[in-house]
Chain A
Amino acid sequence: GQNIDQPTEMTATEGAIVQINCTYQTSGFNGLFWYQQHAGEAPTFLSYNVLDGLEEKGRFSSFLSRSKGYSYLLLKELQMKDSASYLCAVRDQARGYSTLTFGKGTMLLVSP
């Protein structure tokens, strides 16, 4: 089976940096996705990692260590609009290439 763990909530201040961690256990890891979801809205794709290392995309970066079953999403220069839930999702070969398993999400609150 799969197990994906993320912190439930985090708080940070506008302009700061925050790191949201995700740990996972899979039988056939084949990629990890991060999504952002504002309350009552659709999740939107942020980043994808399949190899170890850091992927940078503007203010957002995502890191993966396959040997540790660990990823993090790094948000820099936080803005109020970054207040949202951040979802970690893993693709597992054992479940087929189509499907993702999602963590419960980390609710980030950015304060002035």
Chain B
Amino acid sequence: DGGITQSPKYLFRKEGQNVTLSCEQNLNHDAMYWYRQDPGQGLRLIYYSQIVNDFQKGDIAEGYSVSREKKESFPLTVTSAQKNPTAFYLCASSMTFRVSNQPQHFGDGTRLSIL
């Protein structure tokens, strides 16, 4: 079955530690996205990538970093510079950025908490 896999489902971070959230898709989608969701807030865009080896900052990129070395993979690193990292992180992908009616498909999310 095609889909988006995020791992781990739950992640705990110590103060001052970097952690990496995994996102893999086998949908052959060009575009991938990372969102953060906090209680009572909508999804906020952290980073997105329209094509391999290219990515752009979203609305709340500070304290995060990404890479897109392979079409299937778009890992997100939450660095120690992110002062409030506790949130639900969602990865998404869409077929192409060129066609506006393509919906984004989401993974099941990773819940990150600070110890």
Contact = CB atoms under 8 A, between A and B. Distances in A.
Contact of B100 (A43, A89, A97, A103): A97
Contacts of B109: 40-42
A30 interface: yes
Interface string A21-42: 0000000001101000000111
B64 interface: no
B101 A48 contact: yes
Given A41-B108, A98-B48, A104-B41, 13 more contacts: A42-B106, A42-B108, A43-B90, A43-B106, A89-B43, A97-B97, A97-B98, A98-B50, A98-B56, A98-B97, A100-B104, A102-B42, A104-B40
Query: What interface size band does chain A fall in?
Result: 20 to 34
Interface residues of B, number: 29
Contact of B97 (A4, A42, A89, A96): A96
Given A98-B50, A99-B58, A30 B106 contact: no
Contacts, number: 61
B97 A87 contact: no
Interface string B38-55: 001111110010100000
A66 interface: no
Contacts of B41: 104
B107 interface: yes
B45 A99 contact: yes
